[in-house]
Amino acid sequence: MSPRRAALAAALAAGALAGCTVGPNFTPPAPPAPAAGYAGSDGGVADFGSGPQGRWWEGFGSSALDALVARALAHNQTLAMSDATLEQARQRIAEVAGRALPQVDANARAEHEEINLSAFGFSPAALGGGAAFANPVFNLYTLGGGVSYDLDLFRRNARALERARAEGEAQRQQTAAAHLTIAARVVTQVLTIAAIRDHIAAMHALLADSDRNVQLTELRQKLGAGTLLDVLTAQAQMAEDKRALPALDQELAAARDMLAILVGTSPAELGPTDFSLAQFTLPARVPVALPSALVHARPDILTAEARLHAATATVGIATANLYPDLTLGASYSQAANGIGSLFASQYRGFDIFGGLAAPIFHGGTLKAQKREAEAELRASAASYRETVLEAFQQVSDLLSAITTDQAALTAAHDSAAISARSLDLSRKSFRIGNSGVLQVLTANTTNQRAQLAVIDAEGRQYLNIARLYAATAGGWLPDRNLQRQP
């Protein structure tokens, strides 16, 4: 390279170093104020701190549940799509990062040409040829390459890489959210199946009681102490109780089908799901993230934060597009009409260049793009704040629900105990003829509803505990997704 060209390259490089990054720099949103908290009351169940991490579902103490969650995380098709999308985001980052490096290309070409001299204004007579003059035909061999580098004076490429990384982080957190959601849905579905099975078991027990009532009325009729009306009334009650079983069986089948989809298999291959609420341990204390920790744990909040970061970088890109762009480059080639002489010095050619491109007039397009990016940034900021508020509300609602669940369960147990005692006394009174069958059947119906209310209250309590776990869980991704972070 000649001294003059070297000086030019040095001057251009100095200009690049003097360039600046335009547009706003991203600052993570401030954490909630120390006074921020949840409105709900937890009745002493919540253990406030950093919140649950990792395999939170193991808190229910069921190895069968743990196995189903593991199957879902390994085979669920929604997670497979999410993992593939995450890999796509990672490759997008690599693609944008590559553009910031020098671009080097090589080329080789072999040609067999005929030059149409007449097209350039040369006639055969002017070239000293006669009527038999022909255009020249020859071979041409070319070997060369080139390099170009965008100096990125106003850091447009750097902002593009920043945006790609932020979008990749958003996708990473969406993948985390997908895994958390699938795990939570599996836990919820298993607890739902357990509650339905307990319902069915309770109904069968109640049907056994109804059958005893029928037998008792039939015996009293035979002994002359009862009437056919008593028998028919007892039989009608038992038929009414049986009517609820088909609907429960259908609910159970639908719940199993949904669980099979979640674990990525067919219902026939799902295996046994003979769960009961008694098989699970109700956690005495549930680790719940404080608001200041929740904003750094929940994947949906972290996704919104990453999108806010990407929107900030987009403003920087749109701003940089308003300024000039400087590119340096060079090319080198060897071209000859014979392979043997291809590398001879007289067939060499090279070019060293610097190119400057600056926007002059685009009809307001570039400024409109900047204003559009700024509007997107404001929308992303509002979306982030809304996501945080919704997360706080969800946790508050669940904390309130857990308090209500405990009170409802206590009341249901008390009601069940009273109704069971009332039913026992009604039957004894009926046996000795002090009351009619209608009183027994009424007590039986009351007891039936009380027993089912206990199951409903227990199931609701388990489900809300699981939802609270999921609402404050974070920081978890499968190992294969943490091998390299965008």
Identify any residues that bridge with 147 across adjacent strands, giving them in sequence order.
104, 330
List of E strands, 175-291: 286-289
Contact present, 55 and 478 (Cβ < 8 Å): no
pLDDT over 80 at 123, yes or no:
no
pLDDT digits (tens, 9 = 90+) for 326-337: 999 999 999 988
pLDDT digits (tens, 9 = 90+) for 174-186: 999 999 999 999 9
Confidence class for position 130, pLDDT limits 50, 70, 90:
low
What burial class does residue 221 get, using C-beta atoms within 10 Å of its C-beta: 0-12 exposed, 13-18 middle, 19+ buried?
middle
Token pair in block for residue 110: 């072999």
Q: What are phi and psi of 287, to 5 degrees?
A: -65, 120
pLDDT value at residue 34: 66
Q: What is the mean pLDDT of the chain?
A: 87
- pLDDT band at residue 344 using 50, 70 and 90 as cut-offs: confident
| Percentage of the residues of the chain whose pLDDT score is greater than 90 | 59
Domains belonging to the chain, first-starting first, are 38-103+155-323+370-481 (1.20.1600.10)
Geometric angle at alpha carbon 153, from 149 and 159, rounded to 5°: 90
pLDDT digits (tens, 9 = 90+) for 346-384: 889 999 999 999 999 999 999 999 999 999 999 999 999
Helix (DSSP H) and strand (DSSP E) numbers for the chain: 11, 6
Confidence of residue 16 (pLDDT cuts 50, 70, 90): very low
Q: Name the residue among 217, 238, 251 with its Cα closest to residue 459.
A: 251
Say how many Å lie between the first and final Cα of the chain, rounded.
40
State CA 258 to chain mean position distance. 19
Rg (CA), the chain: 39
- pLDDT (tens digit per residue) in 402-412: 999 999 999 99
Over range 315-324, report the average pLDDT: 96
295: which 2 tokens?
């904003």
Give the pLDDT of residue 129.
59
Token pair listed for 306:
């990453």
pTM score, two decimals?
Answer: 0.82
pLDDT of residue 223: 79
Please give the full DSSP string across 58-123, using - where no structure is assigned: GGG--HHHHHHHHHHHHH-HHHHHHHHHHHHHHHHHHHHHHHTSPEEEEEEEEEEEE--GGGGT--
Q: Is the pLDDT assigned to residue 291 strictly greater than 70?
A: yes
The position carrying tokens 């990384």 is 165
pLDDT, tens digit (0-9, with 9 covering 90-100), for 54-84: 789 999 999 999 999 999 999 999 999 998 9
pLDDT band at 212 (very low <50, low <70, confident <90, very high): confident
Residues in the chain: 486
CA dihedral 368, 373, 374, 377 (to 10 degrees): 160
- Among residues 151, 145, 109, 150, the alpha carbon closest in space to that of 331 is found at 145
